[in-house]
Amino acid sequence: MRARVPEEDLHAYVDGWLGAAERASVDHWLAAHPDEARRVAAYRVLGERWRAAYAPALHEPIPPQLLHALRPRRRHLARFAIAASVAALVAFGAWRFAVEEPAAPIALRAAMAHAIYAADVQHPVEAGGTAELLAWLSERLHMPVRAPDLRRTGYRFIGGRLLPGDKSAAALLMYEGQGGQRVTLYWAPEFRQPRDSGLIYASTERGTRVYYWLDEECGYALVSADLSQSELLDLARLAAEDLEK
């Protein structure tokens, strides 16, 4: 039995990309590693929820301003151009936020991950010490991953998780308040951009609040289903300032 299944193989397993022999090998390995099996199951649930969240967009009308912007010079390319643009927007979930916000998918993904893991009582984060966990996440994300110190606001760091992204791995860091409420910080290197975006607010249809910000190294999103916008803003400022040190 192999000592460890590479993370990319686990994602391929969840997505159904492995051949029969490889899938059988992973099945055998997961049967002997229940913690990893639970993590892979959570990946599958996350994917299913993303697909369920994006599905309504297939039935929504295309915004007139988008149609105008995508109007091709050749008539026979119109249907292809519009279909491709709709597919791209559905894939990133941009319909739930303003069309003008190209970075909004990070907020949706962060909110979805928060909804799944913040409510998990038994196994919300990976086991292990803080230093070991952050070192492992840093290796997987190919960048230093740090947990901002939010203790002065009453929130302590309780752990994190490795998550799949569209183009690269992402990480979720979880904090817990004195009353048991949880806040998560989502790291997504694939959303980095040349210029700092500053803090941007977004909210989901279910009332989950998100403050996200982007810089040349990474995209970050702080998420809460319990805090007010102003309370979350205070935490986001503190987290952003700590990460800049």
CATH of the domain at 198: 3.30.200.100
Average model confidence (pLDDT) for the chain? Answer: 77
In the prediction, which pLDDT does 116 show? 84
pLDDT band, very low/low/confident/very high, at 2 (cuts 50, 70, 90): low
- Percentage of residues in the chain with pLDDT exceeding 90? 34
- The pair of structure tokens assigned to 2 is 């192999």
Residue 157 belongs to some domain of the structure: yes
Residue 70 belongs to some domain of the structure: no
What one-character DSSP code corresponds to residue 60? S
pLDDT greater at residue 174 or residue 165? 174
Comparing C-alpha atoms, which of 173, 65, 43, 166 is closest to residue 108?
166
Instruction: Give the whole-angstrom CA distance, residue 113 versus residue 31.
Output: 25
Residue 71 belongs to some domain of the structure: no
Residue 147 belongs to some domain of the structure: yes
CA 63 to chain centre: 26
User: How many domains, in total, are found in the chain?
Assistant: 1
Domain of residue 120 covers 100-244
Residue 234: left if φ>0, alpha if ψ -120 to 50, beta else—which one? alpha
- Asked whether 208 and 225 are in contact (CB, 8 A), the reply is yes
Residue 198 belongs to some domain of the structure: yes
- The pair of structure tokens assigned to 41 is 């199951």
pLDDT band, very low/low/confident/very high, at 55 (cuts 50, 70, 90): low
Residue 77 belongs to some domain of the structure: no
Residue 118 belongs to some domain of the structure: yes
**Does the pTM exceed 0.85?**
no
Residue 3 belongs to some domain of the structure: no
- Asked whether 160 and 174 are in contact (CB, 8 A), the reply is yes
- The pair of structure tokens assigned to 110 is 């962060």
